[in-house]
Amino acid sequence: MEKHFLADMMEGEGEPTFRAEPWYNAYGDCIVYKVADEAFVADRVDEWLTVYNSAVDGRAIGFQIKGVRAIITKFGLDGLAVSWKADAGCVQEISIMALLLAAYEQGPRTLSRRRAYAAAMESPAKRRTISADELQPA
Amino acid sequence: MAADFACKTIDPSNPTGPKVDAIFPGDYTLRLYKYSRVDYENLRAARHVLEHAERVFFGVREFNEGGWCYTGRPIEWYVKEGVVASFPDNLIFAVYLNPNMRVYECRAEYVAPDNARCPKDWQKRYGGLTWKSTS
Protein backbone atom coordinates (compact mmCIF):
# COMPACT_ATOMS: atom_id res chain seq x y z
CA MET A 1 0.00 0.00 0.00
CA GLU A 2 1.08 3.56 -0.52
CA LYS A 3 2.40 5.65 2.34
CA HIS A 4 -0.18 6.39 5.01
CA PHE A 5 -1.47 9.96 4.87
CA LEU A 6 -0.73 10.34 8.61
CA ALA A 7 2.71 8.72 8.52
CA ASP A 8 4.64 11.97 8.86
CA MET A 9 2.54 12.98 11.88
CA MET A 10 3.29 9.69 13.60
CA GLU A 11 7.05 9.93 13.30
CA GLY A 12 8.72 9.61 16.66
CA GLU A 13 5.65 8.09 18.35
CA GLY A 14 7.38 4.79 18.91
CA GLU A 15 6.68 1.23 17.88
CA PRO A 16 2.95 0.38 17.73
CA THR A 17 1.81 -2.34 20.12
CA PHE A 18 -1.72 -3.71 20.12
CA ARG A 19 -3.55 -3.16 23.41
CA ALA A 20 -6.60 -5.27 24.23
CA GLU A 21 -8.18 -2.88 26.68
CA PRO A 22 -11.28 -0.70 26.84
CA TRP A 23 -10.86 2.99 26.12
CA TYR A 24 -13.19 5.95 26.10
CA ASN A 25 -13.58 7.73 22.79
CA ALA A 26 -14.41 11.28 23.83
CA TYR A 27 -15.47 12.36 20.33
CA GLY A 28 -18.13 9.68 20.13
CA ASP A 29 -18.98 9.37 23.84
CA CYS A 30 -18.44 5.63 23.59
CA ILE A 31 -16.27 2.91 25.07
CA VAL A 32 -14.45 0.79 22.53
CA TYR A 33 -13.03 -2.62 23.29
CA LYS A 34 -11.19 -4.92 20.88
CA VAL A 35 -9.33 -8.06 21.82
CA ALA A 36 -7.71 -8.74 18.43
CA ASP A 37 -5.89 -6.49 15.99
CA GLU A 38 -8.04 -7.43 13.00
CA ALA A 39 -10.48 -5.63 10.77
CA PHE A 40 -14.02 -5.98 12.01
CA VAL A 41 -17.58 -5.75 10.83
CA ALA A 42 -19.81 -3.78 13.17
CA ASP A 43 -23.14 -5.40 14.01
CA ARG A 44 -25.40 -2.92 15.76
CA VAL A 45 -27.49 -4.56 18.46
CA ASP A 46 -29.37 -1.53 19.77
CA GLU A 47 -28.87 2.14 20.71
CA TRP A 48 -26.24 1.21 23.31
CA LEU A 49 -24.31 -1.82 22.05
CA THR A 50 -22.52 -2.64 18.80
CA VAL A 51 -20.64 -5.93 18.52
CA TYR A 52 -17.46 -6.19 16.48
CA ASN A 53 -17.09 -9.40 14.45
CA SER A 54 -13.74 -10.34 12.95
CA ALA A 55 -13.51 -9.80 9.20
CA VAL A 56 -11.09 -12.74 9.16
CA ASP A 57 -13.27 -15.50 10.61
CA GLY A 58 -16.47 -13.92 11.94
CA ARG A 59 -15.82 -14.44 15.65
CA ALA A 60 -16.73 -11.69 18.09
CA ILE A 61 -13.60 -9.65 18.85
CA GLY A 62 -14.99 -6.67 20.66
CA PHE A 63 -17.77 -4.21 21.20
CA GLN A 64 -18.70 -0.57 21.54
CA ILE A 65 -20.89 0.88 24.28
CA LYS A 66 -22.57 4.09 23.12
CA GLY A 67 -24.21 6.91 25.04
CA VAL A 68 -21.87 6.49 28.00
CA ARG A 69 -22.71 9.86 29.52
CA ALA A 70 -26.42 9.08 29.34
CA ILE A 71 -25.86 5.77 31.14
CA ILE A 72 -23.78 7.47 33.82
CA THR A 73 -26.36 10.23 34.21
CA LYS A 74 -29.07 7.65 34.76
CA PHE A 75 -27.21 5.23 37.02
CA GLY A 76 -24.55 7.48 38.53
CA LEU A 77 -20.88 6.67 38.75
CA ASP A 78 -21.51 5.12 42.14
CA GLY A 79 -23.78 2.55 40.55
CA LEU A 80 -21.06 1.48 38.13
CA ALA A 81 -18.01 1.80 40.36
CA VAL A 82 -15.60 -0.91 41.37
CA SER A 83 -13.17 1.26 43.30
CA TRP A 84 -12.97 4.64 44.95
CA LYS A 85 -10.19 7.01 45.87
CA ALA A 86 -10.25 6.60 49.61
CA ASP A 87 -8.92 10.04 50.42
CA ALA A 88 -11.15 12.04 48.08
CA GLY A 89 -14.18 9.75 48.30
CA CYS A 90 -14.65 9.80 44.53
CA VAL A 91 -15.04 7.03 42.02
CA GLN A 92 -11.76 5.80 40.56
CA GLU A 93 -12.66 2.85 38.35
CA ILE A 94 -15.92 1.80 36.79
CA SER A 95 -16.85 -1.67 35.60
CA ILE A 96 -17.32 -2.35 31.90
CA MET A 97 -19.63 -5.24 32.79
CA ALA A 98 -21.75 -2.96 34.96
CA LEU A 99 -22.00 -0.53 32.04
CA LEU A 100 -23.11 -3.38 29.78
CA LEU A 101 -25.71 -4.49 32.31
CA ALA A 102 -26.96 -0.93 32.68
CA ALA A 103 -27.25 -0.62 28.91
CA TYR A 104 -29.08 -3.94 28.70
CA GLU A 105 -31.61 -2.86 31.32
CA GLN A 106 -32.70 0.05 29.15
CA GLY A 107 -34.04 -1.97 26.23
CA PRO A 108 -36.54 -4.75 25.63
CA ARG A 109 -35.71 -8.15 27.08
CA THR A 110 -35.48 -10.03 23.80
CA LEU A 111 -33.55 -13.18 23.07
CA SER A 112 -31.38 -11.48 20.44
CA ARG A 113 -30.39 -8.72 22.84
CA ARG A 114 -29.67 -11.16 25.64
CA ARG A 115 -27.44 -13.22 23.36
CA ALA A 116 -25.56 -10.20 22.08
CA TYR A 117 -24.94 -8.77 25.55
CA ALA A 118 -23.87 -12.17 26.82
CA ALA A 119 -21.41 -12.48 23.94
CA ALA A 120 -19.99 -9.06 24.77
CA MET A 121 -19.59 -10.02 28.42
CA GLU A 122 -17.84 -13.25 27.46
CA SER A 123 -15.09 -11.40 25.60
CA PRO A 124 -11.72 -12.62 26.84
CA ALA A 125 -11.10 -9.41 28.70
CA LYS A 126 -7.73 -8.72 30.25
CA ARG A 127 -9.00 -5.50 31.71
CA ARG A 128 -12.62 -5.08 32.81
CA THR A 129 -12.57 -1.58 34.21
CA ILE A 130 -11.93 1.91 32.95
CA SER A 131 -10.75 4.94 34.87
CA ALA A 132 -13.55 7.33 35.70
CA ASP A 133 -11.19 10.22 34.94
CA GLU A 134 -11.12 9.15 31.28
CA LEU A 135 -14.84 9.64 30.81
CA GLN A 136 -14.77 13.27 29.74
CA PRO A 137 -16.51 14.05 26.42
CA ALA A 138 -14.62 16.17 23.90
CA MET B 1 0.85 14.67 20.32
CA ALA B 2 -0.18 14.20 16.70
CA ALA B 3 -1.94 17.10 15.04
CA ASP B 4 -5.47 17.02 13.70
CA PHE B 5 -5.83 16.12 10.03
CA ALA B 6 -8.48 17.70 7.81
CA CYS B 7 -9.88 16.41 4.56
CA LYS B 8 -12.56 17.90 2.37
CA THR B 9 -15.98 16.34 2.28
CA ILE B 10 -19.59 17.16 1.48
CA ASP B 11 -21.15 19.70 3.81
CA PRO B 12 -23.96 17.71 5.42
CA SER B 13 -25.86 20.92 6.16
CA ASN B 14 -25.51 22.16 2.59
CA PRO B 15 -24.67 19.19 0.34
CA THR B 16 -24.68 21.18 -2.89
CA GLY B 17 -22.47 23.94 -1.47
CA PRO B 18 -18.72 24.12 -1.02
CA LYS B 19 -17.01 21.19 0.64
CA VAL B 20 -16.06 21.46 4.29
CA ASP B 21 -13.37 20.01 6.53
CA ALA B 22 -13.85 16.69 8.24
CA ILE B 23 -11.34 16.41 11.07
CA PHE B 24 -9.44 13.32 12.13
CA PRO B 25 -8.58 14.33 15.73
CA GLY B 26 -4.90 13.92 16.51
CA ASP B 27 -5.43 12.14 19.81
CA TYR B 28 -7.84 9.69 18.16
CA THR B 29 -5.53 8.83 15.26
CA LEU B 30 -2.54 8.61 17.59
CA ARG B 31 -4.34 6.12 19.78
CA LEU B 32 -5.15 3.95 16.79
CA TYR B 33 -1.57 4.20 15.57
CA LYS B 34 -0.09 3.16 18.89
CA TYR B 35 -2.55 0.50 20.04
CA SER B 36 -4.79 -0.63 17.18
CA ARG B 37 -2.74 -0.78 14.03
CA VAL B 38 -5.34 -2.36 11.74
CA ASP B 39 -7.82 0.38 12.57
CA TYR B 40 -5.10 2.94 11.96
CA GLU B 41 -4.40 1.47 8.52
CA ASN B 42 -8.10 1.56 7.72
CA LEU B 43 -8.16 5.32 8.25
CA ARG B 44 -7.13 5.29 4.60
CA ALA B 45 -10.49 3.71 3.79
CA ALA B 46 -12.20 6.30 6.00
CA ARG B 47 -10.54 9.17 4.17
CA HIS B 48 -11.53 7.63 0.83
CA VAL B 49 -15.15 7.41 1.98
CA LEU B 50 -15.20 11.03 3.15
CA GLU B 51 -13.76 12.19 -0.14
CA HIS B 52 -15.98 9.91 -2.25
CA ALA B 53 -19.11 9.54 -0.14
CA GLU B 54 -22.06 7.68 -1.60
CA ARG B 55 -24.53 8.43 1.20
CA VAL B 56 -24.71 10.82 4.16
CA PHE B 57 -27.09 10.15 7.03
CA PHE B 58 -28.12 12.39 9.92
CA GLY B 59 -29.29 11.65 13.45
CA VAL B 60 -26.90 8.80 14.17
CA ARG B 61 -27.22 8.59 17.92
CA GLU B 62 -30.13 8.17 20.28
CA PHE B 63 -28.51 9.98 23.21
CA ASN B 64 -26.17 12.43 21.53
CA GLU B 65 -27.51 15.34 19.51
CA GLY B 66 -26.51 15.65 15.89
CA GLY B 67 -23.80 13.73 14.15
CA TRP B 68 -23.40 12.23 10.72
CA CYS B 69 -22.62 8.96 9.01
CA TYR B 70 -20.85 8.95 5.65
CA THR B 71 -20.81 5.69 3.73
CA GLY B 72 -18.91 4.52 0.71
CA ARG B 73 -16.88 1.71 -0.70
CA PRO B 74 -13.09 1.68 -0.55
CA ILE B 75 -11.32 -0.43 -3.15
CA GLU B 76 -9.36 -2.33 -0.54
CA TRP B 77 -8.86 -2.50 3.18
CA TYR B 78 -6.39 -3.77 5.74
CA VAL B 79 -7.67 -7.05 7.22
CA LYS B 80 -4.86 -8.00 9.59
CA GLU B 81 -1.15 -7.41 9.91
CA GLY B 82 0.41 -7.60 6.47
CA VAL B 83 -2.84 -8.56 4.71
CA VAL B 84 -4.64 -6.19 2.35
CA ALA B 85 -7.77 -7.43 0.59
CA SER B 86 -10.45 -6.17 -1.75
CA PHE B 87 -13.30 -4.61 0.16
CA PRO B 88 -16.15 -7.20 0.20
CA ASP B 89 -19.33 -6.63 -1.79
CA ASN B 90 -21.57 -7.48 1.16
CA LEU B 91 -20.13 -4.68 3.31
CA ILE B 92 -20.19 -0.90 3.30
CA PHE B 93 -17.63 1.31 5.02
CA ALA B 94 -19.11 3.85 7.43
CA VAL B 95 -17.42 6.91 8.91
CA TYR B 96 -19.13 8.58 11.86
CA LEU B 97 -18.63 12.26 12.69
CA ASN B 98 -19.87 14.19 15.68
CA PRO B 99 -21.68 17.54 15.31
CA ASN B 100 -18.29 19.29 15.26
CA MET B 101 -17.28 17.24 12.19
CA ARG B 102 -14.79 15.23 14.23
CA VAL B 103 -14.34 11.64 13.08
CA TYR B 104 -14.93 9.20 15.91
CA GLU B 105 -15.63 5.81 14.34
CA CYS B 106 -14.57 4.15 11.08
CA ARG B 107 -15.85 0.68 10.37
CA ALA B 108 -17.31 -1.84 7.98
CA GLU B 109 -20.97 -2.71 8.33
CA TYR B 110 -23.30 -5.19 6.66
CA VAL B 111 -25.22 -3.71 3.74
CA ALA B 112 -28.98 -3.33 3.71
CA PRO B 113 -30.68 -6.15 1.79
CA ASP B 114 -32.56 -3.66 -0.36
CA ASN B 115 -29.73 -1.17 -0.95
CA ALA B 116 -26.06 -2.10 -1.18
CA ARG B 117 -24.99 1.49 -0.56
CA CYS B 118 -26.65 1.74 2.84
CA PRO B 119 -25.89 0.01 6.13
CA LYS B 120 -28.30 -2.62 7.39
CA ASP B 121 -31.35 -1.20 9.20
CA TRP B 122 -30.47 2.36 8.23
CA GLN B 123 -34.15 3.34 8.21
CA LYS B 124 -34.46 2.47 11.91
CA ARG B 125 -31.02 3.58 13.04
CA TYR B 126 -30.69 7.07 11.63
CA GLY B 127 -32.79 10.18 11.50
CA GLY B 128 -32.71 9.96 7.73
CA LEU B 129 -30.74 10.39 4.53
CA THR B 130 -29.18 13.82 3.99
CA TRP B 131 -27.52 13.22 0.66
CA LYS B 132 -26.89 10.49 -1.89
CA SER B 133 -24.57 10.24 -4.84
CA THR B 134 -26.19 10.23 -8.24
CA SER B 135 -23.21 8.58 -9.94
In this predicted model, what pLDDT tens digit does every residue of B79-107 receive, in sequence order? 999 999 999 999 999 999 999 999 999 99
Assigned domain for A80 exists: no
Instruction: Kindly report, residue by residue over A10-31, the tens digit of the pLDDT.
Output: 999 999 999 999 999 999 999 9
What's the per-residue H, E or C state across A15-79? CCCCCCCCEEECCCCEEEEECCCECEEEEECCCCEEEEEECCCCCEEEEEEECHHHHHHHHCHHH
Assigned domain for A78 exists: no
Percent of chain A with pLDDT over 70: 94
**A127 at B interface, C-beta within 8 A:** no
Query: What mean pLDDT do residues B22-42 have?
Result: 97
Residues 13-32 of B with CB under 8 A from A: 24-26, 28-31
Assigned domain for A134 exists: no
* DSSP states of B3-70: PPEEEEE--TTSTTS--EEEEE-HHHHHHHHHH-HHHHHTHHHHHHHHHT-SEEEE---SSSS--EEE
Chain B, nearest residue to A27 by Cα: B104
pLDDT band at A79 (very low <50, low <70, confident <90, very high): confident
**Contact (CB<8Å) A37/B78:** no
Assigned domain for A8 exists: no
**B116 at A interface, C-beta within 8 A:** no
* Number of domains forming the structure of chain A: 1
Amino acid identity of residue A91, one-letter, is: V
The C-alpha of A91 sits at a distance from chain B's nearest C-alpha, in angstroms, of 23
Distance CA(A65)–CA(A67), nearest Å, equals 7
Instruction: Kindly report, residue by residue over A50-76, the tens digit of the pLDDT.
Output: 999 999 999 999 999 999 999 988 888
Distance CA(A119)–CA(A8), nearest Å, equals 39
> Chain B partners of A18 at a C-beta cutoff of 8 Å?
35-37
Assigned domain for A85 exists: no
What domain range is A107 assigned to? 19-70+100-129
Q: What is the ipTM of this complex?
A: 0.95
